[in-house]
Amino acid sequence: MKRIMAVLLLGIISLTCLTGFAQAEQKGSLFTYKASASVFTMMINGQEVGTVKSAAKGLAVYDKVVERLLNIHSNKVFVDCDVVFKEAKYNTKPVSSANELAHAIEQVIVVKTNAYAVLVDGEKVCYVEDTGIVQEVLDELKNTQVQKIQQDEKGELQETHIKENITYQPETVTVSQMVDKQALMAIFTQGTEEVQEYEAKAGDTLWSIARAHKIPFSVLKEANADRNIDMIHPGDKIRLTVEKQLVTVVATEKQTEIKDIPYETEVRQDNSLERGRTKVLKEGKKRKKEVTYLITTENGKVTSREVLEEKVLEEPVKRVEVKGTKVPPQPSRSKPGQSSGAVIGSGKGSDVVAYAMKFLGVRYVYGANGPNAFDCSGFTCYVYRKFGINLPRTAVSQRSVGVAVSKNNLAPGDILCFGNPGHVGIYIGNGQFIHASSGSRMRVVIDNLSSKHYQKRYVCARRVLK
């Protein structure tokens, strides 16, 4: 219909051109005509594409461009354009060459096709030519998870399905909006949002980055699960967002494992044995049980682990020990400066740091033991007690606990000891430590070990974690 309108307009324009007159002036009762040479501005969808001597020549170039585009995209596409010619003065509009006109037409011409919008949980994410390629991509995603389960000899696949609701909606769109199978796979597996990154600077820790960007530490830790969060160096790329797949493959499998059954310990009291001493009468022995789990994963990550069945293969043997109750002679009082004899405990440095960070900003009060207020040694005692480690109460006495660590080999969770006066803190990594400051801030804060103030006062570092 649009082409017919253009041809009708061409006929009217051509009629004017054939008479050889374009303008008329009235003088008295007479009309005089002035011959004028005209050209035509060709417009497609409201945009000017060139100047032609006649509408017929413009349409001839237009037809060639359309024919070429249809051959490229097959017969599944169509051109949706409004073509209009407007008369213009020849001396103000240079005539476009055929190549110039064809190139300009290609820039504005709209090639459309019938397609399907792909909706994930009702949200439109892309357009495809055929819904079949969507199913192919979904099958490939499911097969990836199936192969992982089959490679694990313990696993027995139960079923796989797509968590999201995938639907389709027929639409007419431009060819440029369509995606192929490869692009669709990228959309489904990488999502549509770009993962933001931050370049680490000197003195940065994962804690400080989380605070600066107002991101929960747990989210930042998950986004960077592939790196050692205790060791961040300048220039490292830290992901600030978790890459979330647009489509989730849910897989369930049965898995059978042989687990140890811990033995019980029976403790008997013995008043002939000194208090604090124990003696084993009978060693305990672990035994085995067979446990069958129903495991659910989403894109390979375990989301639930349900026990379906437990079968005891052999009962464990109870351990029997006696505990002394006899009161030993009272020991003499230790001289000042002697070691407290604190033992090394178990735990991860990152766990100690994570727990200590919960008290950031809590006020300093001399002699306070927490949790609403601390002094420096009260803070370290409170934190380490959470992990089963009892430290001596004063900062000076904490200089002799655990084992000595050189300043070059510090690890998160080490105790830093300072002098003039006695002071202690907990190392958190990258040259920083957390402590209850008695200075002007009077609260639990983070400071840099490389500052002049703490460099001068630094005495030693002690490690109380295995």
Catalytic machinery residues: 376, 423, 435
The rounded distance, in Å, linking the Cα atoms of 455 and 453 is 6
CA distances to 74, 182, 246, 290, 456 from 119, in Å: 26, 18, 11, 44, 63
Please confirm whether the linkage preceding 421 is cis (ω < 30° from 0).
yes
Q: Are strands 249-261 and 403-405 parallel, antiparallel or unpaired?
A: unpaired
- Packing angle between helix 98-108 and helix 55-73, nearest 10 degrees? 50
Tell me, rounded to whole angstroms, the distance of Cα 211 from its chain centroid. 17
The rounded distance, in Å, linking the Cα atoms of 243 and 229 is 18
The rounded distance, in Å, linking the Cα atoms of 456 and 438 is 17
Q: Can you tell me whether residue 314 is helix, strand or coil? A: coil
Task: Please state the length of the chain.
Answer: 466
The rounded distance, in Å, linking the Cα atoms of 449 and 141 is 49
Using a 10 angstrom Cβ sphere, with 0-12 exposed, 13-18 middle and 19 or more buried, the burial of residue 31 is exposed
Q: Strands, E, within 45-147: which ranges? A: 47-52, 77-79, 83-89, 111-120, 123-128
- Packing angle between helix 349-357 and helix 376-385, nearest 10 degrees? 120
Question: Which structure tokens are listed for 55?
Answer: 């509408």
Q: What is the DSSP string of 271-309?
A: EEEETT-EEEEE--B-EEEEEEEEEEEETTEEEEEEEEE
Q: Which of 9, 105, 8 is nearest to 66 (CA)?
A: 105
